[in-house]
Amino acid sequence: MEIQNNFGKIRRIIEGFYRYGMSPFAELKHKSFNKDLEVSAMYLSNMIYDLENELQVDLDDEQLLQIERPIDLVNLLVKPQT
């Protein structure tokens, strides 16, 4: 059941990235939002907020500070919440 749940989460995450004109795949997943992809802090905050709402996940401030690259965000959103 957990694998199916993660598959659904990943599908919604991918759709969320595409809504914001980004792909969490291939070479982009390891590029910095700020330096390489030139994503503004406000744009990224809005995307994270939308994804949190979509997945019913609440990332705390410490977790938000860890987000540098798309893969970081995906990992935090898929990881089970404690």
> pLDDT at position 38, please?
92
Domains for the chain: give ranges and CATH numbers.
2-78 (1.10.1200)
Mean pLDDT for the stretch of residues 33-37: 92
* pLDDT over threshold 70, residue 1: no
Mean residue pLDDT of the chain comes to: 88
Residue corresponding to tokens 């994804």: 51
Q: Is the pTM of this model over 0.75?
A: yes
Copy the structure tokens of residue 28: 């982009």
Helix (H) or strand (E) holding 46: helix 41-55
